[in-house]
Amino acid sequence: MGELVLLSGGLDSAVCFGMAVCAGRMPSALFVDYGQPAVAEEMHAARSLCKRFETELAVVNIRGLPSVGLLDPNYRSNPSGVRHSAYTPARNLALIAVAASHAEATKNDTISIGACAEDNYPDTSETFIATANALLGIATNKPLSLIAPLRSVEKRKVYKLAVKYGIDPKETWSCYYPKTAGNPCGRCTPCLARRFVESTEAER
């Protein structure tokens, strides 16, 4: 039995992957294409990570979620876009359900998700993670566990952990809305967070 990491190509899940590798758990990885605007960049980052760690990346397509939040096609042209919520209703719940199906079928007993301290959506809360973990304990023939090893870790510290666990932040993708293919917008919440952390670290 092993660990399945929900690998989005972003820093948090990449660090979760690195943590599992360093712990000798030889994780497998699952990327979910739910129609996110940066799907090409995220999948490229996830694939590159898996290639480096010699792990296969499974990809599942669940496109068709409602066109709101991150999936709102008007978000990109909204001049106040950085303040617009990217919350996509129950997205993580959907990702975990897909991961549970995949994990049981591939004989993994643990699912790892990369929520961190700054994530304040309903389906990234500590209560949600604990409750989802309890649900997975009874939802499948073989009980599954859900872990979120970075849930109480601030983004700034996640950057430090990345180095510790063999992840180069540059090989991950953060931006929600690439300006052009492969180029971050520089305005969305993850772009701003990344710039802040990188500038803070540069001053040290």
Residues that bind Zn ion (CB under 5 A): 175, 184-185, 188, 191
Nearer to Zn ion, 97 or 192 (CB): 192
d(CA 28, CA 16): 11
Smallest gap from Cβ 190 to Zn ion, in A, equals 6
Contact status, residue 31 vs residue 57, Cβ threshold 8 Å: yes
Q: Which amino acid is at 181?
A: A
Minimal CA–CA distance to 30: which of 94, 88, 89, 98?
98
Smallest gap from Cβ 144 to Zn ion, in A, equals 33
- What length does the chain have? 204
Smallest gap from Cβ 178 to Zn ion, in A, equals 7
Q: Which residues contact 156 (CB under 8 A, 6 or more apart)?
A: 197, 200, 201
Nearer to Zn ion, 21 or 38 (CB): 38
DSSP letter assigned to residue 176 = S
For residue 2, list its beta bridge partners.
108
Smallest gap from Cβ 20 to Zn ion, in A, equals 27
Smallest gap from Cβ 174 to Zn ion, in A, equals 7
Nearer to Zn ion, 86 or 115 (CB): 86
Nearer to Zn ion, 27 or 37 (CB): 37
Nearer to Zn ion, 164 or 195 (CB): 195
